[in-house]
Structure formats: structure tokens, C-alpha cells
Amino acid sequence: MNSDTGAGRNGEAVSRFVERFAAQLTEAGMQRMAARVFAALLASDDASMTSAELGETLQISPAAVSGAITYLTQVGMVSREREPGSRRDRYVLHNELWYETFTRRDQVLGLFEKTLRDGASHLGDTTPAGARLAETAAFFEFLQHELHGMLDRWRAHRATLDLPGA
């Protein structure tokens, strides 16, 4: 059992949080089981759990844990680490998870922008479709610029916060 079931934790309240946040992530487009596993890891003091701990916490099968972890690993939200002296893996949230997630989104936005600009040039900027692609590319360029500034401002703001581990 992980250390998150100790004194000072209301297990029922933590479970309600996990399910509520997972439902919100699912509504936003994340796979349901991946959302539940992610929320459980987020609510874990260690930000890490084994497959058995996740299964027990969420009352899900090893196959469900495996599928969720595969998805979360592919999208870069968790990593797999070997427990020292053990054959068991621990699944760990990345440090600065949200910062890293949005940084990766920036790379996707750059790829979208380039493809849209190429498409606009092939369709012709004066055609309705070409103009639409050019405007969409300009929107993604704007988002990238704003995202860079926002992430820089977040780092500066985070440094002013009195957060544990910050």
C-alpha cells in the first residue's frame, strides 16, 4: 500500500476528488480510465504508484491500469520507473507536469502552423480555402507566441508562491 493512506487523509474525500477531476478530464476529451489513473497519481503524495496500488485504489483490473498507463505514457504525462531492488514498475507524474504538457502542445501548434501555411500556399492565398488556411495558421502562430509568454510569466509567478517543493 502506498503512503497516501496514512493519517491526515480522508480516503473518501480523496476518492471523490479523483472521480470528480477524472470526470472533468473525460469531458475535456481524455480517455476515461486514463483520466482516473492520472487523477489518482495527481492526488498521491509521492506522485507515483504501482500498478497494484492503482488497481486497488481505483478498483480496476490490471488490464485497465495497463491501458491507461500506455495512453498516459504516450502523451508524456507519466513515466515508468523501476522500483529499486524490485521487478515492479512505478508510474510517476512528471515534474512540472502542466508546464511540460503545454510545452509539448507548443510543438504541435508549430507543426499545425507549418502544415497550414504549406496548404494555404498550395491552395492559393486568394481562394476561400487558402485564405481560411492562412488565417488558421496565423491563429496558431499567435497561440504559440502567447503560450511562450504565458509560460514565462508562470515560471516567474511560481517563484513568488510559497508552495511546498517549489
**Predicted local confidence at residue 150, as pLDDT:** 87
| Domain housing 47 | 3-93
Q: Does residue 87 sit in the same domain as residue 103?
A: no
Kindly report, residue by residue over 11-65, the tens digit of the pLDDT: 899 999 999 999 999 998 899 999 999 999 999 988 899 999 999 999 999 999 9
Does the predicted TM-score (pTM) go above 0.75?
no
Query: Is-contact 166 158, C-beta < 8 A?
Result: yes
Kindly report, residue by residue over 87-128, the tens digit of the pLDDT: 888 999 876 767 677 666 777 788 889 999 999 999 998 899
Kindly report, residue by residue over 55-91, the tens digit of the pLDDT: 999 999 999 999 999 999 888 889 888 877 888 889 9
Measured CA distances, 115 to 111, 120, 135, 138, 144 (Å):
6, 9, 13, 12, 15
**Predicted local confidence at residue 38, as pLDDT:** 93
Indicate which CATH number applies to the domain containing 44: 1.10.10.10
Q: Does residue 88 sit in the same domain as residue 115?
A: no
- Last-in-domain residue among 93, 115, 149: 93
